Amino acid sequence: MTETVLRVENLRKEFGDVVPLKNISLEVKRGEIIAIIGGSGTGKSTFLRTLNLLERPTAGKIFFDGEDISTKPIELLRQRVGMIFQSFNLFAGLTLLENAIAAPVELKKISRQEACVKAKKLFESVGLDEKIFSYPDELSGGQQQRAAIVRALMMEPEILLFDEPTSALDPTMVGEVLAVIRMLAKKNLTMIIVTHEMNFAREVATRILFFADGEIYEQGTPAEIFDAPKLPKTIAFIRRQKYFRHEISERNFDLPAMQGKILSFAERYGLSWKFALRVQLCCEEIIFATMDGCYSADETISMTIDIVYVEAEKILELTLTSGGRAYNPFDDENLSVKILRGYGKNFRCERVDGLNKFSMEVVAP
């Protein structure tokens, strides 16, 4: 059985009233490569910083090789856990070589000569052998991040933590850093990587953790998370769904206000002006068709418009949920339905728990 190198029990972190980590438990096996994904503000980076004791946990325990290190001196952990930050964190006044050898000489008490030999080999492996006497500000962002990885490797860590290692890089430099991490993955190193590079996570990781609301919301293999996520928030994140909802409770509702919100939604997510107008028209037609079909003139209106835009697939689905009598607007052949059929496809209608639900996909112009 593969050895457990890291175990987290009921980890919680509070900053006053803000609770970025609520209740996280996790086991990491030696040689595992775990990618952590999720939206902004879901606790991913705080989790890594807590593992490395840059932030002390408010509650819970962290076990490293079976030993509770939650309250241990941070220097002891530094020799066993390496961390690569978003912003490189190299010492500006030191050359790359000096950056790399400082910690092993100081903490591990190895000779300067031995450290230099080891550092030169590592710099060569990441393509920086000709830059070892350069200072950080003389290098590109990608080169600085590769140097930061070398610095972490110099301590021969049992676990490497990567906190969005490509987020501060120009897109042209992302590939060179990811190539180095791929190289490390082939060496059976244990790594936990917070990343927004989904293709990279799918390719490299042995397990994916999806964070939401300060917790591990769903986890599984790359195939399970990326191809068949089970929980709603994971599905929404993987498909990059964007939501819009508008509720209608009276016949003389503020139509211009609703249409303005739809236009703002479209602009926010890069939909064309023509596409936005098409969505507005479809919403208007299905609303008034449903009002006439489901309600008498004196009945109270209760309707909800939901728009879901799947950015990854460029699909926009429009759904109207309504009370009133059972009705299928798509069975009629009036002008509203002709407009809807001209601008949409995949029409569906169902009656569930006394509610009508009409859905369609609005086709981009």
For residues 191 and 33, the answer to whether their CB atoms sit within 8 Å is: yes
pLDDT one-digit tens code per residue, 206-235: 999 999 989 999 999 999 999 889 998 998
**Stretch among 72-86, 196-210, 299-313 having the lowest mean pLDDT:** 72-86
Give the pLDDT of residue 256: 94
Give the pLDDT of residue 173: 81
- Cα–Cα distance measured from residue 238 to residue 233, given in angstroms and rounded to the nearest whole number: 9
| Per-position b or e across 25-46, b if 16+ CB within 10 A of its CB | ebebeeebbbbbbbeeebbbbb
Residue 161: closest CA among 254, 56, 52, 242: 52
| Percent of the chain topping pLDDT 70 | 99
Residue 40, token pair as written in the block? 């902004």
Strand duo 67-68 + 59-64: pairing: antiparallel
For residues 201 and 222, the answer to whether their CB atoms sit within 8 Å is: yes
- Mean pLDDT over the full length of the chain: 89
What number is the average pLDDT over the span 279-307?
91
pLDDT one-digit tens code per residue, 141-191: 999 999 999 999 999 888 999 998 888 777 778 888 888 998 888 888 899
Characterise 113 by phi-psi region: left (phi > 0), alpha (psi -120 to 50), beta (else). Answer: alpha
Structural domains in the chain, sorted by start: 4-238 (3.40.50.300), 241-362 (3.30.565.10)
- Residue spans of alpha helices (H) in 13-64: 44-51
**Stretch among 42-51, 255-264, 323-332 having the lowest mean pLDDT:** 323-332
More confident residue, 319 or 75: 319
Residue 103: closest CA among 135, 128, 74, 145: 74
User: What pTM value is reported for the model?
Assistant: 0.70
Give the pLDDT of residue 76: 67
Q: How confident is the model at residue 118 (pLDDT cuts 50, 70, 90)?
A: very high
Give the pLDDT of residue 107: 83
- Cα–Cα distance measured from residue 66 to residue 289, given in angstroms and rounded to the nearest whole number: 65
What number is the average pLDDT over the span 49-66?
90
Give the pLDDT of residue 25: 96
- Cα–Cα distance measured from residue 354 to residue 323, given in angstroms and rounded to the nearest whole number: 7
Characterise 285 by phi-psi region: left (phi > 0), alpha (psi -120 to 50), beta (else). Answer: alpha
Does the pLDDT value for residue 1 go beyond 80? no
For residues 42 and 214, the answer to whether their CB atoms sit within 8 Å is: yes
Strand duo 159-163 + 81-84: pairing: parallel
What number is the average pLDDT over the span 247-262?
92
Q: How confident is the model at residue 279 (pLDDT cuts 50, 70, 90)?
A: very high
Structural element, H or E, at residue 193: strand 190-194
- Cα–Cα distance measured from residue 27 to residue 319, given in angstroms and rounded to the nearest whole number: 41
Give the pLDDT of residue 249: 92
What number is the average pLDDT over the span 105-133?
93
